[in-house]
Chain A
Amino acid sequence: MKEPIRVAAGQGFWGDLPDAPVHQVEDGPIDYLMLDYLAEVTMSIMQKQKARDPNAGYAKDFVPLIRRILPTCVERNIRITANAGGVNVKGCADAVRDVARDLGFAGKVKIGIVTGDDIMSRLDEFLAKGIELKNMDTGAPLASVRDRIQSANVYLGAWPMVEALKQNAQIVITGRATDTGLTLAPLIYEFGWSATAWDKLAAGTIAGHIIECGAQASGGNCQYDWQNIPDMANVGFPIAEASADGTFVITKHQGSGGRVNLPSVKEQLVYEMGDPHEYITPDCVADFTTIQLEDAGENRVRVFGVKGQPATDSFKVSISYSAGFKAVGTLVYAWPDAVAKAQKADSILRERLDRLGLKFDQILTEFVGANATHGSLAGPQLLDAPEVQLRVGVRSSDRSSVERFTKEIAPLILTGPPAVTGFAGGRPKVEEIVAYWPALIPKELITPVVEVLET
């Protein structure tokens, strides 16, 4: 058994620093590269792409990335776990296989794929069985949005990926798998952890939570001493150096920028946290109140003491549905009386929208530079502000109302308060809102499928 096992994070989201995974592979020792591509509504975007082109529907950036890093990964035996498959795991795997053949690795690289997460075609079967797929936040039954659903995927955990690794897959591609599972699977596989080793599974899950947002654990978006975090232009993404006993060290490659210390790791631990006693994944329930941290030298934080509980009998489901339309218009007003001018423009705009009889579920006005982030907590608005941006957003189930709104912004320049600018981008765009519907489903209804493809 090799120890420690180094799992490196390469992307905190789809669209993160393109060269980060390349640096993780080339600039120091790692055993696994994990890549998280799927945010909550990413699946619906991919579903739309696939509807237009049956070969699309996955994280396209993944394929050219594999072209860049595969030779080094093969040479150094670095394996990859990625939820890049989106709603077309097979299509993604085929494209990766073509790249591998192209690079001369035919017969040398196996590609594991995990499917079974996509339950779009089974929704009516579940509803008929009385599985309501209620919205976890609002309690509303799925039937209330049934005709507007665009995608439905179960969050699968680490175990299907473990199976693919056992079958010698060098690259494991999944659809909707949990981001923590991408880190946990290699540790289960390497250390032979059992399905009921709850403390260890919780530890691997927490290692995944710490590195899954990329540089947010190694100096990015870090409030503590942010002015002095070194060399952020060359920020190193985090690496979990894990041991078989369930302890691990968070670190980054030597020579890279950023900083891994107790405050940077603590900030990431509390990010998007709910009840810290119950961090629920398909693989276990981790207790964040048991985590112990220790400074283990420069850019090294040791994590130990983690306790876990048995996994629940449900999978979480990520459903996306069409929820109307929105648009946001902006204009910039200059000194003097910048805020007062923007306020006046807003009231003129609202009166015009009112006279047009347009229907909106919501109109939101913010004054960027005065109150857009902290609202009234920002205190009295700056009377002497050099400029302020008026930002008005509208939302409606009626597309034509939102479209009409987009035509009412630019006219304010010639028909409203003076010293106004900042309208270079044309009319605001009307955006279709694809909203997120979290639900639970009994695990026994779902069968993950693992295949390993030869190249």
Chain B
Amino acid sequence: MKVQLVKLAHARSGDKGDTANVGLIALREDIYPILVREVTSQRVKSHFKGICKGDVERFELPNLGALNFLLHESLGGGGTLSLMTDAQGKTFSTALLRMEIEITPEEATSLAVS
């Protein structure tokens, strides 16, 4: 079944030049392996279609139950060059939380999500 990331994780995002970073943090320890399995760089890249024009890199932080994504070429040039309302990528966090991922019925039961 499909579940939206907002029910499984919280997030914070920021910028480094024209690259947005999104840190995705599992709400509970047992959710982290599901994020690792489902929220791949390729899926994040296609989720941000039309917004992220470069590559997406992913780093794992099992110690924090978190994944860090770097979305290159996403901020209209970045910094002061950008004309975007969100030139610093501050709202990319919740944009990622819109993503839907696939979990098994057993996972849905054990996580008590619907």
Question: Is A271 within 8 A of B12, CB to CB?
Answer: yes
A window 125-169: CB within 8 A of B: 137
Min distance, Cβ A24 to any Cβ of chain B, angstroms: 23
**Chain B neighbourhood of A391, CB < 8 A:** 85
Nearest opposing residue in chain A for B66, CB measure: A270
B47 contacts A435, CB within 8 Å? no
For chain B, residues 64 to 92, give those with C-beta under 8 angstroms from any C-beta of chain A: 64-66, 68, 70, 76-81, 83-86, 90-91
Does A288 belong to the interface (CB within 8 Å)?
Answer: yes
Given the interface pairs A269-B64, A372-B86, the reply to whether A263 lies near B25 with Cβ below 8 Å is yes
Q: Of the listed stretches A67-75, A98-106, A185-193, A274-282, name the one at the interface; the rest are far from the partner chain.
A: A274-282
CA distance A394 to B83 in the complex (A): 7
A residues in contact with B14, CB < 8 Å:
271-273
B23 contacts which chain A residues (CB < 8 A)? Answer: 266-267, 269-271, 273
CB distance from A150 to the nearest CB of B (A): 12
Q: Tell which of B17, B25, B59, B83 touches A267, judged by Cβ atoms closer than 8 Å.
A: B25
Is A221 among interface residues, defined by CB-CB distance under 8 A? yes
A333 close to B (CB within 8 Å): no
Q: Which residue of B lies closest to A305 (CB)?
A: B63
Query: Which one, B18, B66, B81, contacts A266 given CB within 8 A?
Result: B66
Q: Does A393 contact B (CB under 8 A)?
A: yes
**In whole angstroms, what is the CA distance A376 to B95 when docked?**
10
Contact between A373 and B86 (Cβ–Cβ < 8 Å)? yes
Q: Count residues of A near B (Cβ-Cβ below 8 Å).
A: 48
Q: How far is the CA of A275 from the CA of B51 in the complex (A)?
A: 21
Interface of A is mostly: mixed
Please state if A289 and B62 are interface contacts (CB–CB under 8 Å): yes
**Bound Cα distance from A267 to B61, whole angstroms:** 13
Q: Contacts A137-B17, A375-B51, A436-B17: A368 and B85 contacting too (C-beta < 8 A)?
A: yes
A374 CB–B CB distance under 8 Å: yes
Q: With A40-B79, A137-B18, A277-B59 as known contacts, state yes or no: A373 contacts B85, CB within 8 Å.
A: yes
- Is B95 a contact of A275 with CB atoms below 8 Å? no
Query: Known interface pairs A40-B79, A362-B76, A374-B94. Does A272 touch B61 (Cβ–Cβ under 8 Å)?
Result: no
A-B contact count (CB 8 A): 128
A221 to B89, CA, bound (A): 13
How does the 8 Å CB contact mask read for A365-397 relative to B, with 1 for contact and 0 for none? Answer: 010100011111100000000000001011100
In the bound complex, residues from chain B placing their C-beta under 8 Å from that of A40 are: 79
Are the C-beta atoms of A275 and B25 separated by less than 8 Å? Answer: no
Whether A393 and B25, one on each chain, are in contact in the complex, defined by CB atoms closer than 8 angstroms, is no
> When the two chains form their complex, are residues A328 and B50 in contact, meaning their CB atoms are under 8 A apart?
no
Is B11 on the interface with A (CB-CB < 8 A)? yes
The reply on B41 being an interface residue by CB < 8 A is no
Tell me the bound Cα distance from A373 to B96 in angstroms.
12
Which segment of A290-298, A413-421, A443-451 sits at the interface?
A290-298
A-B CB contact pairs (8 Å), 27 listed: A137-B78, A267-B12, A268-B12, A270-B11, A270-B12, A273-B68, A276-B59, A276-B68, A288-B61, A288-B64, A289-B62, A291-B64, A305-B63, A323-B80, A366-B84, A373-B86, A373-B91, A374-B95, A375-B51, A376-B50, A376-B51, A391-B85, A393-B84, A395-B81, A433-B80, A435-B80, A435-B81
Given A221-B12, A223-B93, A267-B12, 15 extra CB contacts under 8 A: A266-B25, A269-B23, A270-B66, A270-B68, A272-B14, A275-B59, A290-B63, A323-B81, A364-B76, A366-B84, A373-B85, A373-B95, A376-B49, A376-B51, A433-B80
